[in-house]
Amino acid sequence: MNTYVTSATIKRLREMRNFTQADLADRVGVSSKTISKWETGKGLPDISLLQPLAQALGISVIELMNGEHIINRNVSANMQRSLFYVCPVCGNAVHALGNTVVSCCGITLPALEAEEADEDHTITIEKVEDEHFITVHHPMEKGHYVSFAAFVTSDRIQMVKLYPEGNAETRLSLRGIGTLYWYCNQHGLFRKKLPARKADL
């Protein structure tokens, strides 16, 4: 991992659960003096204690090490709040319906911020039968390529993986109001709200 649990995180999460230091110590199997040392920065938990500590605090080890407790308050999950995460090491692309902690190849991944397309990442959309043919005007070289394209509406996602030295094009069914996303491995995530005026595409 690229981070480690901090004293402030342990104290904040303990207080969120309304535990005393003694309460937390009992659940982890250490002394309250040990918890005090952790919270004052005079020591940190051994790696073997991270799982019991996270379990006692009701969170995952990744959340504990990231210092952020993710609470999903959006029970009905609107797909339009979709977030994308991409691992810079292996290229793994992850889709989530809201904030979450995503880790890949030992790295905690930030959610990508989508931008409007610039002149180097333009797209064209052509209607073909009951689908749409999407072309991203972009090189597809080993070191610089479009990794995926996705169309997100309020109730579904279509996501297509693209590969270097292939074509930056795919077919998607662009039905309803939604957002078209495409990801360049060097310049990040781009978006286009649809339906849009034909002149804007």
pLDDT (tens digit per residue) in 118-133: 888 999 999 888 889 9
- Rounded Cα gap, residues 110 and 154, in angstroms: 23
pLDDT at residue 72 in the model = 47
Higher pLDDT pick, 66 / 159: 159
- Rounded Cα gap, residues 196 and 201, in angstroms: 7
Query: Measured between alpha carbons, how far is residue 181 from residues 89, 105, 156, 192 in Å?
Result: 21, 24, 14, 7
Nearest to 153 by CA among 134, 180, 127: 180
- Rounded Cα gap, residues 134 and 61, in angstroms: 40
